[in-house]
Chain A
Amino acid sequence: MRMIEISGVAAAIVLAAVTAPVHAADKPSDAQIAHIAYTAGDLDIKAAQLALKKSKNADVRAFASDMVRDHQAVNDKALALVKKLGVTPEDNDTSKGLVEQSGEKQAELAKLSGQDFDKSYVDNEVAYHKTVNGALQSTLIPSADNGELKSLLQTGLKIFTGHMEHAEHLASTLH
């Protein structure tokens, strides 16, 4: 697997796993795509919950609250959709990798406080959304077979692009 170094990016592994050219035989199935997308959202919620616990910066806290609310709404939609389609989300190397990387980043962030925490959290949010959006665009959306899943992923990409812009603006105020 091709690894791409992006400092502090929890999702580096997803990028590496999904930016390789997609061949019909090894493209992720809808069940795997659903699991990757759900996991990516869930991990961002966990990062935001840590920020709400640790940060005292009003703008950072507002951003984190937005992340919890939006990703929860998207994941609720995703759960309702997989239920309707009778698809069982399937754990896979990409989603496992995401969890592992994110766990390491969370541990790193947990040791920081004050402005150091705020900057690291927001920088990571920029990088994380960039990576996940890249994966959605290059692999997950084109690989999705079901039209409703594809459409939800496309809406997700628009939402997460908004998050990335928000995070970038916030990062510029913290540096």
Chain B
Amino acid sequence: MAFSEDQQQFADVAERFFGDKSTPTEVRRLMASDVGYDAEVWRQLAHEVGLTGTHLPEAYGGFGFGAVELGITCQAMGRHLYCGPFFASSVMAAHAVLNNGSEAQREALLPGIAAGTSIAALVLDDLSDPARVGMSIQADANGRLSGAAQLVADAHVADLLIVAARAADAVALFMVDAAQPGVKVTAQNCLDPTRRMARVQLDDVSAERLGNGPADLSLLWDQMCTALAHEMVGGAERLFETTVEYMKMRVQFGRVIGSFQALKHRCADLLLELELARAATHEAARYLATGAGDAFAPNLAKALASDAYISIAKQAIQLRGGIGFTWEEDTHLWYKRAKASEVFLGTSNWHREEMIRRMEVAHGG
């Protein structure tokens, strides 16, 4: 569907911001840094542009927009490989609080996240399948948590942890002050240094359960995957554009390589993949915003966006030839994000399996 005029303006603002603040030079500087993000840019994106709370309700300090606007932000971030805890805090943790928190808990936690003054991380002990979450972290009878998660996005810079843990009745979500003794966070050496993962060890730490019910991991997964798909589509778009531009400049055998039919046709195939991924991804945001459409929309978005991003990333290197494999050239920055996103929150195979499972549910099977 076409963006409204306001949405288009918002997209332009986001694109300008990240195009300006997240240049390849800056991304390389942050990749090499300890924390992996720039605190001043974070302050600007939270305070001056207000992106951290775009999609959160006004009652909790947000702007009250929804999944479509969040998608616009993520797509722009993905285009420019923004390095920072936005996805961990504003997408993963914020949705967990919004879905499961009591009114008082939302009021206590969300305004800080929306303002960017609090950085939250969502501790999931499995990133491949929501049904496997809660195997490694347990809540005891007093609600104290113990266990570990190996791959927690941006936990190394978080002051608040939202932890999925197995309680007596169900897998539930808990809020944990990251500063307390018993919480040990160790930064990991990441294949994609533009999104940091950390190991979180909890030894009998005090926690407060979010709400009374089980963690709504299914909804949370849909929300996270839809946002992630937007990031991936943004990255794939940008990488495809720079590859096509390169092919119009690079001359071999007396002609630009973009004049060879084998390469032209390969690019046409990639454009098709990208167009389909983009359409499915925007549909997933619309589905979350309105509730109308196929229940598998977020799965389709993640599967197609992931496949398209990887196809384009591989070809972006191949079509550049030797230079594409060098550290100096920027292509590997996107390739690494594509690879990391491919296995983050479920592979394409997992999402396709989930599509069929959901169709069976709808079918009454």
Mutual binders A and B: no
Which residues on B are within 8 Å of A, measured CB to CB?
none
